[in-house]
């Protein structure tokens, strides 16, 4: 992990790959949890309310995979999921500020004391400059992972040479 000028800790390649895999694993497993969603946390109803609820439920399942604050910190899980939420807001929703209020309201709701303890204070709007740096870093990680996972694919190597 590398510390930035404002004490932001960037995910290492291994942390990113681990967090990415953990998130992908839980992504489709949220249906049984809809009934437990505290609807009072929705700050503003939008055409994206259902998507926001799904994001929140994924956030919860993802963080619960780490079980303890120590495990979460060791894997840098809060920084990963914070980036992911910022990615969703920038790429899928129009109103960034109001959507983020929904995420933070959900994280800090009393019904979520377990995940609030893990990352409640670390879910925030990332400034554009830092977001771009993280986005480029993670894009590089994804390219590296692609080449590593396809190391026996000679077609990929010939494309890299051209």
**How confident is the model over 113-139, as pLDDT tens digits?**
888 888 888 888 999 999 999 999 999
What pLDDT is attached to residue 1?
A: 42
Q: How many CB atoms lie within 10 A of CB 80?
A: 24
Contacts of residue 95, Cβ cutoff 8 Å, sequence gap at least 6: 44, 46
CA 95, chain centre distance (Å):
18
CB 107 within 8 A of CB 123: yes
Query: What Cα–Cα distance (Å) separates residue 100 from each residue in 51, 63, 103?
Result: 13, 18, 5
Q: How many CB atoms lie within 10 A of CB 49?
A: 13
Element (H, E) at 2: strand 2-3
**What is the share, in percent, of the chain residues with pLDDT greater than 90?**
43
Which two tokens mark 89? 């807001």
Query: Mean per-residue pLDDT for 59-82?
Result: 92
Helices marked H in the chain: 13-26, 49-64, 69-75, 77-92, 96-107, 113-119, 128-149, 154-161
Global pTM reads: 0.82
| Whether pLDDT at 60 is above 70 | yes
DSSP state letters, 53-90: HHHHHHHHHHHHTT-SHHHHHHHTHHHHHHHHHHHHHH
The chain-wide mean pLDDT, for the chain, equals 85
């Amino acid at each position: 992990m590398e510390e930035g000028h404002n004490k932001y800790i960037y995910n290492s390649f291994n942390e990113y790959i681990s967090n990415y895999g953990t998130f992908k694993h839980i992504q489709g497993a949220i249906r049984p949890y809809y009934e437990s969603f505290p609807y009072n946390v929705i700050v503003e109803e939008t055409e994206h309310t259902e998507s926001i609820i799904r994001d929140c439920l994924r956030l919860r399942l993802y963080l619960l995979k780490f079980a303890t604050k120590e495990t979460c910190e060791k894997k840098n899980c809060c920084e990963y999921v914070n980036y992911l939420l910022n990615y969703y807001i920038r790429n899928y929703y129009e109103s960034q500020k109001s959507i983020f209020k929904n995420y933070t309201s959900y994280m800090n709701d009393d019904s979520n004391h377990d995940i609030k303890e893990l990352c409640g204070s670390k879910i925030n709007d990332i400034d554009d400059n830092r977001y771009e740096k993280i986005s480029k870093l993670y894009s590089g990680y994804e390219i590296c992972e692609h080449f590593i996972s396809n190391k026996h694919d000679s077609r990929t190597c010939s494309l890299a040479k051209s």
